[in-house]
Amino acid sequence: MRIVLKLLDTRPLRVPAFRRLWVSTAVTAVGSQLTAVAVPLQIYRLTGSSAQVGLAGLAGFLPLVAAALWGGAVADAADRRRLLLVGNTGIALVSVLLWAQAAAGLRSVGTLLALVAVQQAFFGANATVRGALVPRLVDPELLPAANALQSTAAWFGGIAGPLLAGTLVAALGTGTLYLLDALALLAVLPAVRLLPPLPPSDGASRRVGPREIADGLRCLRSSRVLLTAYLVDFLAMVLGLPVALFPQAAHQVFGDPAGGGPAIGVLSAALSLGALLTGCCSGLFTRVRRHGAMVTAAVCTWGLAIAGLGTTRRLWLAALLLALSGGALVVLGTFRKSILQSAAPDAMRGRLQGIDTVVGAGGPRLAGLVHGVAGAAFGASRAISAGGVLAVLAMGAVVAVSPAFWRYSPAAQRSREVSRPRTAACTSASSAGSAASRRRRSSTRASPVVTTWRAASSRVLSSQSHRHSTAGPEAK
């Protein structure tokens, strides 16, 4: 344990606000996996159909995408701490409803899928807000360490949550898993409430609608570094994430019976275990300043490990290569998020984080489709190796087209911003709310009627304020 603490970069945990956010992330990561196990298990018990289980993922995907994009726009216009409270509370309430329908013996798949859709909408918005507020809590040089800690907490939840669910479901039943998820969310609400207020940094009031979401897309399109970071992550996931081929590879390559065996368990666990171990060694890489070079190296390492996976018939070597690819995935996520957070203006971080949430949710699903088709056509081993090689080639092509990405570092980015204004599309979009507020104030000053009304309102509010101050402090 002492060795892990020395290797883990814990500097952001010295910031009380981030420490509270990280604790809430770790607890809810475990709790959310309880529901993630319970939903498909309950649907399969009700229907006996894997196709019906697949509908749960489809039912939740579109609400998640819509809520992530909308929630990102709201995060740029409102207090992010309050939005996080609303998101956590919403997810907890839906988990309580899931527990209620299970406890009541309500055998309605439609009701279950509807609740899953609502919960995934809350999750999409909540994940977007959580990512957008990290740069407001820690200094820029601590962003890689903070993102590594957040990632480590998420991977820990992805391992511990299903193990805990498998242990508890036999003794307590499916419904109890929902209830435990809700209790975990409610338990960390005080930590979220103690975060500092996080209103828009420029103090501007903004509308929230399709035009504001489109502003985020225009900002992304106008920034070569941001666009490259998103493109690299998307290509790496689609080409180099062969999770959908694990059952086929376990059976055809590593000798598992058709119904499953130890090989599928090893393949499924190795990726997550490698990611978790790498996150625990974050102190080895979070101080690197060349973020673009780290993303490039991580994608190439990931691709080469996956390419090697497709060539081996030894299970222990396959597990080692998958653990290496999981570690590369953590490094990629750490520095890609840091690029997003350092290269984007705060007034745009919510919307860009919403796009990031959509890419993170959609990439693995598309990867499953691509690898499934390729595996059926060419076999699991060839499809896996080809995907890894293509990921490396794609990364090389991206760097050749955009060499500035390889050289990107936050310090150089800040130096350029001092000498040169930020990208026009991002600047104009992020300042639109401020300009609108100034126009409204200007038009108000120009109107004598409104000026008279404001003076009268000011006197009324002043008298009310005096009465409140004599009556004592108000509860928030």
Per cent of the chain over pLDDT 70 is 84
**Least trusted range by pLDDT, from 44-53, 95-104, 313-322:** 44-53
Please report the pLDDT score of residue 204 as a whole number: 66
Q: Are 239 and 233 in contact (CB under 8 A)?
A: no
Classify domain 13-208 by CATH architecture.
Up-down Bundle (1.20)
3-state secondary structure of 258: coil
179-206 average pLDDT score: 88
389-394 average pLDDT score: 96
What's the rounded Cα separation, in Å, for the pair 451 and 446?
8
The one-letter amino acid code at 280 reads C
Per cent of the chain over pLDDT 90 is 53
209-228 average pLDDT score: 89
Residue 46 has pLDDT above 90, yes or no: no
Residue 426 has pLDDT above 60, yes or no: yes
Which of 146-155, 202-211, 426-435, 438-447 tops mean pLDDT? 146-155
Please report the pLDDT score of residue 360 as a whole number: 87
Please report the pLDDT score of residue 170 as a whole number: 82
**Least trusted range by pLDDT, from 45-54, 170-179, 312-321:** 45-54
Neighbour-count burial of 388, counting CB atoms closer than 10 A to its CB (0-12 exposed, 13-18 middle, 19+ buried) = buried
pLDDT per position as a tens digit, 17-30: 999 999 999 999 99
Nearest to 147 by CA among 11, 27, 277, 33: 11
Please report the pLDDT score of residue 458 as a whole number: 45
Q: Per this entry, what is the length of the chain?
A: 476
Please report the pLDDT score of residue 167 as a whole number: 86
Residue 419 has pLDDT above 60, yes or no: no
Residue 436 has pLDDT above 50, yes or no: no
More confident residue, 377 or 6: 377
Residue 450 has pLDDT above 50, yes or no: no
pLDDT per position as a tens digit, 355-380: 999 988 888 888 988 998 999 899 99
Q: Are 75 and 353 in contact (CB under 8 A)?
A: yes
Residue 239 has pLDDT above 70, yes or no: yes
pLDDT per position as a tens digit, 250-274: 888 998 887 678 888 889 889 999 9
What's the rounded Cα separation, in Å, for the pair 317 and 267?
11
Query: Quick one: how far is CA 379 from the chain centroid?
Result: 32
Whose structure tokens read 């420029």?
Answer: 202
Please report the pLDDT score of residue 475 as a whole number: 37
Q: What CATH homologous superfamily does 210-430 map to?
A: MFS general substrate transporter like domains (1.20.1250.20)
Strands (E) across 235-365 are located at none
Please report the pLDDT score of residue 207 as a whole number: 79
Residue 411 has pLDDT above 90, yes or no: no
Mean pLDDT of the chain: 84
Please report the pLDDT score of residue 361 as a whole number: 86
Please report the pLDDT score of residue 259 as a whole number: 67
> Where does the chain hold its CATH 1.20.1250.20 domain(s)?
13-208, 210-430
Residue 463 has pLDDT above 80, yes or no: no
At CA 252, angle to CA 54 and CA 382, rounded to 5? Answer: 85
15: region left, alpha or beta (phi > 0 left; psi from -120 to 50 alpha): beta
More confident residue, 201 or 366: 366
Please report the pLDDT score of residue 462 as a whole number: 46
What's the rounded Cα separation, in Å, for the pair 19 and 137?
10
Q: What is the pTM of this model?
A: 0.82
Residues 6+ apart with CB under 8 A from 273: 159, 323, 326
206-222 average pLDDT score: 87
Please report the pLDDT score of residue 3 as a whole number: 60
Please report the pLDDT score of residue 457 as a whole number: 44
